[in-house]
Amino acid sequence: MRRVSCFVPLLLTAGSVFAQTPVISDPGILNSITLDNSQPVAPGSIVSIFGSQLASAVATADSVPLSTSIAGVSVTFNGIQAAVRLVSPTLISVQVPWETLGTDTTGTASVVVSQNGVNSDPRKVALAQYSPGIYAIGNLAISNLALAMNSDGSLAQPVGIIPGLNSHPAQSGDTLMLLATGLGPVDSPIANGAASSDMVRNALTQPQVMVAGIGANVVSTTLSANFVGAYQVQVTVPDAVGTSNAAPLLLQINGVSSPTTTTIAVVTPAPAD
């Protein structure tokens, strides 16, 4: 018994020696949609945290509302627990807590990753109420094809561009539904990690949408009922957009613009006989 009892503190010491300390890259906290390291991140939006030893394995959330911890990994913004969507050794995906910025329009947050009780050094990230981005097929790091849906449920992209998915160009006068991020406060509070399935929540500030450089009519901007941290923007395709398989799609709010590389397919309707 004496030999066993002497071995216990050695095991505890070994555990502390081999505990991994998470490291957040610099810059390593980015808008998950735009991945723009010059852009602040917005409360309520999904961000990607890059680094090393962030988690011991890959794990994802399996339900909504999202939990504040997955596989022993958690993240705080200014001490507020974030909802966690995915963890891996080099990447964590979380929602910036809605209350991180308060009533200010800009600020900073101190971000800490904790893995099984071991904390990273804090990493600062710039915050702003608005950090717009349009979801793309995959994400903007690998695709510039906007996730814009025609009223029939197809993508507003060239026919057959993505095998297995229905797609066709949008026409002027059509209504499109865009999936976006970083569009600011909404008219009713929502819990961190929740999708807006219980009620319609409208953005307090309507964005401007440009299709091929022409202003589009914005019908509504609401939080998604299905996706955490995402907004649904309904717009009407403007007249005279011409015909293009890669018409620029731009979203602007409070003087801040989404990346100019995002595109949709549009076509000018044939004249009536």
Token pair of 123 as six digits: 């990493």
pLDDT at 33 over 50: yes
Residue 103 binned pLDDT confidence (cut-offs 50, 70, 90): confident
Residue 163 binned pLDDT confidence (cut-offs 50, 70, 90): confident
pLDDT, mean of residues 50-75 = 97
pLDDT score for 269: 76
Distance (Å, whole) CA 132 – CA 141: 16
Token pair of 146 as six digits: 């906007």
**Range among 72-86, 132-146, 161-175 rated most confident:** 72-86
Distance (Å, whole) CA 97 – CA 54: 19
C-beta of residue 228 within 8 angstroms of C-beta of residue 64:
yes
pLDDT, mean of residues 186-200 = 97
CATH C-level class of 17-128: mainly beta
Instruction: Write the pLDDT tens digit of every residue in 239-265.
Output: 989 999 999 999 999 999 999 889 999
Q: What is the average pLDDT score of the chain?
A: 90
Spell 254-269 as b/e; 16+ CB within 10 A means b.
eebebbebbbbbbbee
Task: Specify which residues 214 forms β-bridges with.
Answer: 211
Q: What is the pTM of this model?
A: 0.89
Token pair of 209 as six digits: 């949408």
Spell 126-154 as b/e; 16+ CB within 10 A means b.
ebbbbbbbbbbbeebeeebbbbbbbeeee
pLDDT at 19 over 80: no
The better pLDDT of the pair 163, 233 is held by: 233
Which among 236, 229, 231, 186 has a CA at the least distance from the CA of 211? 236
Domain ranges in the chain are 17-128, 133-267
C-beta of residue 132 within 8 angstroms of C-beta of residue 180:
yes
Instruction: Write the pLDDT tens digit of every residue in 173-183.
Output: 999 999 999 99
Instruction: Write the pLDDT tens digit of every residue in 109-131.
Output: 999 999 999 999 999 999 999 99
Token pair of 56 as six digits: 């011991």
